[in-house]
Chain A
Amino acid sequence: MSDTLPLSIVNNRRMDKWLGFQPDRTVRLAVGKVEIGQGVLTALSQIAAEELDVAIGRIDILSGDTADAPDEGSTSSSQSIEVSGRSVRLVSAELRTRVIGRLAQRLNCAPEDLSVEDGVFLQDGNPTGHDYWSFAAPEDFAAAIEGSAVPKPFASYRVVGQPVPRRDLIAKVSGAAFIHDIVRSDMLHARALRQPSRGARLQALDEAAIRRAAGGAIQIVRVGDFVAFVGADETVVQRAAVAAPVHAVWTGVRELTPLQQEAAWFRDQPSDDRFIGDPGPPSEVGMVVSETYSRPFVAHAALAPSCGLAEYRDGHLSVWSHTQGVYPLRNALADILGLQRDQVTVRHAHGAGCYGHNGADDAALDAAIIALQVPDRCIRVQWRREEEFGYEPVSTAHMTRLRAALDDNGRPVDWTAEVWAGSHVQRPVFGGVMLAHEALPNPPPPAKANDPTEANGGGGTRNGFPMYDFPAKRVIHHLALQTPVRTSSLRGLGALPNVYALECFMDELAERAGIDPVEYRLSLLSDPRARHLIENVAARCDWASRWPVGTGRGLGLAWSRYKNKAAYACVAVELDVDQDVRLRRVWCAADAGLVINPDGARNQLEGGIVHAASMTLKEQVTLDGDGITSLDWASYPIMKFSEVPEIDVEIVARPELPTLGMGECTFGPTAAAIGNAVAHALGVRIRDMPLTRERIAAALVR
């Protein structure tokens, strides 16, 4: 049985790692996934409440804590409900079955005669005088989880599938709610002076000038080329950090060029090359067409700059972080700082939505380095805005060239996607380098280029394979060995640029064949779930009445199944183009199998649409000789209230099918639908994101 158990359970076999009944008649549920604004803890609570038959309000969830919660790796790639949800369902069903089994023996009845009503046991509908809190025994929790209990059939669900409100929101609309708000006794504030680049050495630091600028007491901590300013008054420490860069002299700073900010730069870089899919070279038979699409480097651009807290007392390091993976961070911190893993505890605290690997882990390392130098105090590191934009790992620029050999009807018989990009994932656990580690006396070797395997959905290749019924398809992946700046995971990894390329190219091929783009897609697509969504959205946006190209108003449509195995989404966008693109309306249909919390799901689908639209229309990390130059919200604009369209989302109910992660599924289709709508509005195609005013003007004179 155990080889079919989810990895989360295999790694955490004891029942009491997951569940407990507490004296105040609540149920303790401990999980390894963390809340990153996606409502995952509410959804997991719903699953436990459902299988245990207790009111949702009784679930007291603890998440992301290396002392008390199970190790479930990182919270990423829409896997939380697919993997952790399945684990919580199995574990809860098993605990219920165990306790009921023992009670049935005690009462000398069949387990089927017993039922549970909000944690209270009934026999043939009558009170037994027993409940979970009085009857559950240590033996129920000590044994290994077998995964043999049968969860409820979906038809009997009462809590799962309901729009349960999130419990964490109330704090967020009324006061302290985030890691930034934690106050510990003896807390000291800290800011780092960033090493301008890997390999840079601090030649001189005018400490007196920095102290003068601070205008209050600070301690200056130096470890190798890592420098931090520490003090009781945050305002003073902040002033020191703002003043410091001009009082520091560095040598060995790497120089970048603005050329490196474009995806095309990767085409001439040394790379690790892989061929996936149909063997043999791309076909030269028949009509061969090819186009190239790109997305530049983009930032996570969370609304809150990263924050980390650490205290080192009696040989133990306690860390608070908004990391996506408390265990991987704990392991990385222990390794870097020369501590044993059991000397380090990492606890998750809420941060601002970043949708990937931003500066969270790095800020935790900053705090930990300082804490070892200033023991017995809690060190709170708050990154500054320009620090977050300038030093967080960004999402790699990405270029996709598509090539199709067409049959006489203009339909692809041989398809090749060729991708050039840096690493899409460089988490510490994944061979990535943590920022301050590079400034310590023994810096790590440069990060090795790395990307998730195809089994894990790929990185640069994510959604690179079309799901259309083409006879031959292949992906050629050029994973660049070096990137000009650190890169790591951001919502969907390569899915957005790859779906943008694929679904824009499909429109271009349809036009070439003289066939309506929706009809063209349907003629090449046998997956019934995908077809259903496309037909649904086409009907709702009145695709049949689509007008001719080049009127200034465009309607575009695109779809994908995230990772080719998670949730499906189809998106249509209506927009106007004059100098800029103005989004008017968005229609979306999504199919994610059994949806645990439809309201939370809708929130994520809508959020993904706005996020993707922002990226497609506006976002680019810019570089010059010194590094990243998009260091504030003026140079890195994101979508504003006045730019957000009307959004109409429909979730296609499939409660009988397994839950599919949906946090990222609208991301690629939204980008491509915008690309297609802009082409429809203008009559010319823009293949490089973002679709800014300059790009539109350039396309029109082309």
Chain B
Amino acid sequence: MSIGLTVNGRDVALNADPVTPLLDVLRNYLDLKGTRYGCGLEQCGTCMVLIDGEAAYSCAREIGSVAGCSVVTIEGLGTPQHPHRLQTAFLEEQAGQCGYCLSGIIISAKALLDRNPAPSRADIVAALDKHLCRCGTHTRIIAAVQKAALMGEVA
């Protein structure tokens, strides 16, 4: 059975078992490695993607349940050549140590800025609270999201 959805603006038709996790489809069928496996339990946030504009875990989400949806991954935000302002802000703030948490966090930040272009610090903390970062980069990550919000105002 073929499952149709939009990924990063492209229509894709997949021959996949409908119970396959969206995360596996992104990583292994579509070679989008920026969405990361951390727990498979919806507890850490490394697998976060946008589904119809909302930040959502992809690790336990069955592909069959997103048929017809629009999915955006970190690769859909920007590239090293043409980074999204969030990616630019994270680089400018050097907001990362190992970096494993970052792609998921940037996705949640994108969902936040889309619905609230001028978030307070508390808004940012609330939006990111489902994400873990073992390296303790939290302070810089918050600063990077604040910076990206400001870049959006002038853009």
- Chain A positions within 8 Å of B, measured between CB atoms, are 36-39, 163, 165-166, 168-178, 180-181, 183, 215, 233-235, 238, 301-305, 350-355, 382, 384-385, 599-600, 603-604, 606-611, 614, 632-634, 638-642, 644, 646-647
Contacts and interface: CB of A to CB of B under 8 A. Distances in A.
A175 B134 contact: no
Contacts of A632: 39, 41, 43
B139 A647 contact: yes
B114 interface: no
A304 B142 CA distance: 22
A177 B99 contact: yes
Interface in B75-112: 75, 77-80, 83, 87, 90-91, 94, 96-103, 106
B142 A611 contact: no
B98 to A, nearest CB: 3
A322 to B, nearest CB: 10
Contact of B139 (A606, A608, A634, A638): A606
B128 interface: yes
A301 B134 CA distance: 7
B97 A37 contact: yes
Nearest to A300: B134
B58 interface: no
A172 B129 contact: no
B140 to A, nearest CB: 7
Given A173-B102, A175-B74, A634-B43, A641 B131 contact: yes
Contacts of A171: 80
**Which 10 pairs show the lowest CB-CB distances between chains A and B?**
A610-B136, A172-B99, A37-B98, A353-B98, A176-B33, A607-B136, A352-B100, A181-B33, A633-B43, A175-B34
Contact of B134 (A169, A180, A354, A634): A354
A633 B41 contact: yes
Interface string B114-155: 000000000001101101111111111110000000000000
Contacts of B126: 642
A175 B91 contact: no
Contacts of A351: 98, 100
Given A173-B103, A303-B46, A304-B38, 17 more contacts: A36-B98, A37-B135, A166-B94, A174-B79, A175-B75, A235-B21, A235-B24, A235-B28, A302-B98, A351-B98, A352-B98, A385-B38, A606-B139, A633-B39, A638-B134, A644-B139, A647-B139
Contacts of B78: 174
A611 B37 contact: no
Contacts of A603: 94, 97, 137, 140
A633 B132 contact: yes
Contact of A174 (B46, B75, B134): B75
Given A178-B36, A385-B39, A168 B99 contact: yes
B94 to A, nearest CB: 6
B40 A173 contact: no
A183 B142 CA distance: 33
A609 B101 CA distance: 18
A633 B41 CA distance: 9
9 contacts: A173-B91, A174-B78, A175-B32, A235-B24, A385-B38, A606-B136, A611-B135, A633-B44, A639-B136
B82 to A, nearest CB: 10
B134 A302 contact: yes
Interface residues of B, number: 55
B17 interface: yes
Contacts of A181: 27, 33
B65 to A, nearest CB: 15
A107 B136 CA distance: 54
A303 B79 contact: no
Interface in B21-35: 21, 24, 27-28, 31-34
Contacts of B100: 172, 178, 302-304, 351-353
A165 B46 contact: no
Interface centre among B100, B131, B132 (most CB of A within 10 A): B100
Nearest to A352: B100
A638 B43 CA distance: 11
Nearest to B127: A641
A181 to B, nearest CB: 4
Given A168-B99, A647-B139, A173 B87 contact: yes
Contacts of B141: 641
B97 A604 contact: yes
B99 A608 contact: no
A180 to B, nearest CB: 7
Given A172-B99, A173-B99, A353 B135 contact: yes
A233 B133 CA distance: 29
Contact of A183 (B31, B34, B103, B140): B31
Given A610-B136, A611-B135, A638-B132, A172 B102 contact: yes
Contacts of A180: 33, 36-37
A633 B132 CA distance: 9
B2 interface: no
A416 B11 CA distance: 70
B41 to A, nearest CB: 6
B39 A353 contact: no
A350 B98 contact: yes
A172 B99 CA distance: 5
B10 to A, nearest CB: 16
Contacts of B37: 180, 304-305, 382
B136 A303 contact: no
B97 A641 contact: no
Contacts of B34: 174-177
A303 B101 contact: yes
B142 to A, nearest CB: 7
A170 B79 CA distance: 9
A484 to B, nearest CB: 24
Contacts of B75: 174-175
B55 to A, nearest CB: 14
A174 B133 contact: no
A350 B136 CA distance: 18
A632 B94 CA distance: 29
Contacts of A174: 34, 74-75, 77-80, 83, 87, 103
B76 to A, nearest CB: 10
Contacts of A234: 24, 27-28
B17 A235 contact: yes
Nearest to A232: B28
A2 to B, nearest CB: 36
